[in-house]
Structure 1
Amino acid sequence: AVWHGLGVTMATAFLSWSLSLLFGVLLGSVCADVIWRSWSLPIWPAIGLRRGLAIPRAVHELVWGLLLLQVFGLHPYVAVAAIAIPYSALVARIWRDHLDSADHRPLHALISAGVHPLSALMTALNPGMGSVLMSYGGYRLECALRSATLLGVFGLGGLGTELQLTLQSLQFRELWTGLWVLAAVMLILEQLLRFWRKCSGVGVHGQRRILLFGLLAIAFGVIGTFWLRHVVPDQFLGLSWFGLEVPSWTQLNAAARELPWLRMILETLGLTVLAAGIAIGLPPLALLLWPSPRWHQCCSMFWACMRWIPPPLMVLLLLLSNRPSLAIGALAIGLHNSGVMGRLLLEGLQQQSGQRQDALRAMGSSERISWLYGLLSPQSPSYLAYGAYRSDVILRETVVVGVIGGSGLGWQLLESLSSFHWAAVVLVLCCYCALTITGESLSDRCRSLWLQS
């Protein structure tokens, strides 16, 4: 059962990652201002598309999965679409940001010389975009595997479903077998992606990188499609369609009056603040306890384990010895995201020269002080900038533990979906989108300020 669930999870991750990468690059190129200006066209269509993509990006893949499950029933493509829709919007945002923030002087020079805009764009911007696609695309593959496991925890099939069933039936031997299998797959994937980045960064031009990575994405999509058809052949008989009742204005007004908005919003924001504090503050404090290579390796292994365990599964594990509370949900999200932040911090510290630390140590400073001011301080602006982005991700992930922990907008969303109260579903989703879009704009401003510092 574990190996069958692993096959479903990996096939879902491969196919959804391939689709999100292809559609994300296409949408990101269309909504970039530099593309429209190269053809001397107005940029208002790009602005409208960017604002439209903020809505699917603001909704977590779990919410997409639950909504599509109500519409199409249980089908393998439901999990694929639930991951591909928000991931396409996320990839489009990153791709567009790098296109518009790149150096456009070579592009303007080529266009002024009479070169066709398409040829000028391919020549001037592609060399820098190859590394962006490879680094962020590889990271998205890891996220797709984690998201496929997460959707399985909520009944959409795969390894997550097997882990949830073994935990509910108290079969801990099978549970740990599944966790070790998931950890091994994630570790192998991380090492393969790291090796891929190192090998592809030597003597490979940007256009070849994009072409090579595009072919790899298409190959993964084909493999994922055939693999998914092989492991779940009985479910590919066709999609079902369950009509949804569009709520009227009277139903929306009644649902708006009956829902406890203030309590739900405060619980969601409190969960976000607590989890963000754990995720951002834990890695530097842990490394500061004992700034030595052995301790850093131990921290790296701990953070790897935190990255491998999905937040809802971590909540269920914590609930075995604790009562449900807001702190348990915040701890689960915070520990999971601290694994990502810790990995990023260690990679940034390894790229530091170490001259400041050696100078402070030579002046008589202690090991902790020299590490704090010599290595961590120069790395802090970029670390805090990524922490601002991670806070935005944590706000979207609160729906995951809210569904389990009985708090915030996530719990109300699950209750409304279970009772087919579509007016409440629409209002809760609109509130969640408003919160996440507002948090995204605030995190963008904080990130730009920290990067400028």
Structure 2
Amino acid sequence: MTRGSTVTELSLSRPSARPIRRPSPWNGRNGVLAVALLLVGWSLVRAGLLEGELVNAGGWVLALRFGRAALQPDLTPDLLSLTLHSTLITLAYAVCGTALSLAIGVVGGILSSEVWWQTVRASQGEGGLVAGGAPWLVVRSLLSVPRAIHEAIWGLIFINIFGLDPVSGILALGIPFGAITAKVFSEILDETPRGALQALRAGGAPPLAAFFYSLIPQAFADLLSYTFYRFECAIRSATILGLIGAGGLGYQILLSLQSLRYEQMWTFLYALILLCGLTDLWSARLRWRLSLSRPLAVCKVTDGEATAGPNDRLFRSSLWLALGLTLFSFWFIGARWELLWAPRSGQLFREMVATMFPPRLELAFWRELTVSAVDTLAMSILASAVAGVGGMLLAFPAAGAAWLGGGAEDAVGWMVRPVAWFTRGLLLLTRSIAEPIWALLAMFVLFPGLLPGAVGLGLYNLGILGRLNAEVVENLDERPTRAIQAQGASRLQAFLYAVWPRALPRFVGYALYRWEVCIRATVVVGLVGAGGLGRLLQEQLVRFDYHSVSATLLVFFLLTGLVDLGSAWARRLLR
């Protein structure tokens, strides 16, 4: 070997002398954090945190009285009878609304899914009617309009057309929930593996038959899971409709609150919490029995017990229960469906549409709309911050010992379980009580404005985010935590390096999703005096000022779109 070759080999094998550069702190994730902190600070200033008095000192007496009443609910026979009747009304509205939304969601979900139109194109050939187009985008765009309007606003609109008839409440729940269900169903179908569909097509099965016999059975468990979630949402929304005259638990809670009869109010609240809790248990039990990670057609036996399949006893019992509950609810609610085609209803609808266009265009009015829109945005940011941070903190105690690592359940389970059950009960309480009721309670000690609305939205979404985040923690793979503990790391170190980094992205993703929901729900707390676009919209509907209503809805659509774009931008940078 020559001297030159030796030098060359040595130079090639020498490691690079360039220092390793640390990543710049100015990255996308830190940028999102900085923007979030700036928005929260701006929202606090907008809510008047630095101006004047926010707390009503005299309201603490009422707040303490309300808290003591929780230990002394009114259990007299007459009130219990009224509670049972009101609970049945709320349940009937929720069941009827869910049934209508499910009918809309199934049809709309199939028609707005890309895989359906690809299958239709295959059945017609490349020269078919839908070849070369994107009809699912058209259907999704049409469904985005009813989805953007909150069910409470739909309720006020239908009350002006059909009056205080149960048909107004059922339509107010069914139409927006149906549009939301259709969107989610279409996404589930599009994300379902298509191997079985392609196999059936390769075997000569007709395209549409292959679609229904391959994708639907695979996606059934996910579709069923979301249907239960939508039913839980319908129960809470039926309570909101009670605040605007639909009756049920929401109406009774509002009357008790206005008359300061807190013992009676807690009786109705406990009934609502029990109803939501039973629905949660039924949903969790059925989803576990159906083994969501497996196709419905597969029936696996574990420990001698079937855990999936349409022949499962719980599954069949649930189907019969759902059918009986639906028939009973439609009979019990007594909606006058003839109002849908009554001449007077059609006349009122045409008059309302005619008076909505053109929207009101005065410059002073649009200035007022802009101020209200800014207030609505600030309210949603504060609510999302409260719910996001609180949901992260409560997720771990609600998850029990799932995040403590191997062996923790045996060692400290006797301490963790009571904390987990207490935290889950607290989260159930916060998400069982609707946003406007929380806002009304916040007005005990806070002056009307953005802050009580943000508190009401934040507490309600805290219960939802806490539950979702707890499920994230429970579903984390335990092997990284066990591995780092096997190397001698403490539980705190294992949490900081193996649990928190994996859970945080999901936490942030859920928080951003709930921000999109909060911006729509600000309308509801505005109806009870919390400010923003909701307060303006209520005043306009009461005055039958539909020119102003159309302008306000237009601003609300624009604001919702802005928040959706901002949320999508943040999620993209955080990936």
Match of 1:164 in 2: 254
Which residues in structure 2 correspond to 1:83-102 (within 5 Å)?
83-102=173-192
Report the residue type matching 2:551 in the other structure: L
1:224 matched to 2:329 = yes
Shift of 1:256: 7.2
Q: For 1:357 and 1:24, how far apart are their aligned partners in 2?
A: 41
Between structure 1 and structure 2, the one with the greater Rg is 2
Report the residue type matching 1:103 in the other structure: P
Q: For 1:359 and 1:438, how far apart are their aligned partners in 2?
A: 44
Shift of 1:98: 1.6
Q: Return 102-111 or 312-321, whichever deviates more.
A: 102-111
CA distance 1:178–1:280, shift in 2 (3 Å): same
Q: Percent identity?
A: 29
Match of 2:231 in 1: 141
1:333 matched to 2:423 = no
SS of the equivalent of 2:362 reads helix
Match of 1:152 in 2: 242
Which residues in structure 2 correspond to 1:336-355 (within 5 Å)?
336-355=460-479
Which of 528, 539, 550 pairs up with 1:404? Answer: 528
Contact 1:288 1:372 in 2 (8 A): no
1:261 matched to 2:366 = no
1:38 matched to 2:143 = no
SS of the equivalent of 1:404 reads coil
Contact 1:134 1:209 in 2 (8 A): no
Shift of 1:296: 3.4
Match of 1:311 in 2: 435
Shift of 1:403: 1.8
Q: For 2:475 and 2:529, how far apart are their aligned partners in 1?
A: 40
Could you list the per-position Cα deviations for residues 48-105 of structure 1 after superposition, in whole angstroms to 9, with x for gaps in the alignment? Answer: 1110100100111011001111111101111111010011011100111122223334
Contact 2:397 2:420 in 1 (8 A): no
1:122 matched to 2:212 = yes
Which residues in structure 2 correspond to 1:173-192 (within 5 Å)?
173-192=263-282
Question: What's the TM-score, normalizing by structure 2?
Answer: 0.72
Contact 2:290 2:296 in 1 (8 A): no
Match of 2:556 in 1: 432
Could you list the per-position Cα deviations for residues 363-398 of structure 1 after superposition, in whole angstroms to 9, with x for gaps in the alignment? Answer: 565544432432232122233222222211111111
Q: For 2:281 and 2:531, how far apart are their aligned partners in 1?
A: 37
Match of 1:111 in 2: 201
Shift of 1:22: 2.0
Q: Return 353-362 or 200-209, whichever deviates more.
A: 200-209
Q: Return 419-428 or 403-412, whichever deviates more.
A: 403-412
Shift of 1:263: 0.9
Any gaps of 5 or more consecutive residues in structure 2? Answer: 1-81, 122-129, 299-308, 402-415
Match of 2:103 in 1: 22
Shift of 1:116: 0.5
Contact 2:358 2:547 in 1 (8 A): no
Match of 2:9 in 1: none
Any gaps of 5 or more consecutive residues in structure 1? Answer: none
CA distance 1:348–1:248, shift in 2 (3 Å): closer
CA distance 1:206–1:223, shift in 2 (3 Å): farther
Match of 2:382 in 1: 274
Shift of 1:238: 4.9
Shift of 1:252: 2.3
Match of 1:205 in 2: 296
Q: For 2:570 and 2:359, how far apart are their aligned partners in 1?
A: 39
Shift of 1:205: 1.9
CA distance 1:217–1:396, shift in 2 (3 Å): farther
Select the structure that is richer in helix. 1
Shift of 1:223: 2.5
Could you list the per-position Cα deviations for residues 378-427 of structure 1 after superposition, in whole angstroms to 9, with x for gaps in the alignment? Answer: 12223322222221111111111122234111111011111111111011
Match of 1:81 in 2: 171
Shift of 1:255: 7.6
1:13 matched to 2:104 = no
Shift of 1:317: 1.2
Q: For 1:248 and 1:316, how far apart are their aligned partners in 2?
A: 31
